[in-house]
Amino acid sequence: MSIFRRDRRDRDRRDPGRVTVQEAAARTGHGSAAEDGADAVLLDVREPDEWQAGHAPRAVHLPLSALAAGAGLPTGAQAGPFVVICRSGNRSQQAAGLLAARGAEAVDVIGGMRDWEAAGLPMVDSRGGNGTVA
């Protein structure tokens, strides 16, 4: 079952779902839980300094502030579906709502990068070294 399937009432409200870091990793092709059919874009909505300190490999970066101001999605990430992540899950929930309002399929990650790091999922910094959550 897809984590992006929602019943009609949810779609009508444009209420995005929430997933755990394990579900996010599987849906985006990260870690040992990766599904063969992983097809979602991991969209990191933290600020640049947080992104530089550590992010998931292959994640796409677009700060919530830019998304809220109407910025378009980076090239190669427009199609979605999206798994949206931030530090703790608050900003990503807002961003998933904004994306859903634009008609995109989006879910946010409960616990964000804090839980991602705690689960031992891969992280890199802006220089390709081991990343940390800032």
Q: So what's the pLDDT on residue 63?
A: 97
Q: Tell whether 29 is covered by a domain.
A: yes
Q: Tell whether 92 is covered by a domain.
A: yes
Around 110, how many Cα atoms within 13 Å sit in the side-chain half-sphere? 7
Q: So what's the pLDDT on residue 2?
A: 45
Q: Tell whether 80 is covered by a domain.
A: yes
State the total domains in the chain: 1
Asked whether residue 8 carries a pLDDT value surpassing 80, the answer given is no
Tens digits of residue pLDDT in 87-128: 999 999 999 999 999 899 999 999 999 999 999 999 999 999
Q: Tell whether 130 is covered by a domain.
A: no
Contact 115, 109 (CB under 8 A): yes
Q: Tell whether 16 is covered by a domain.
A: yes
Q: Tell whether 28 is covered by a domain.
A: yes
> According to DSSP H, which parts of 58-106 are helical?
64-68, 90-101
CA distance 78 to 65: 18
Q: Tell whether 132 is covered by a domain.
A: no
Give the global pTM: 0.85
Q: Tell whether 98 is covered by a domain.
A: yes
CA distance 76 to 14: 24
In the predicted model, what is the mean pLDDT of residues 5-34?
71
Question: What is the residue range of 61's domain?
Answer: 8-118
Domain CATH number, residue 76? 3.40.250.10
Residues known to be catalytic: 86
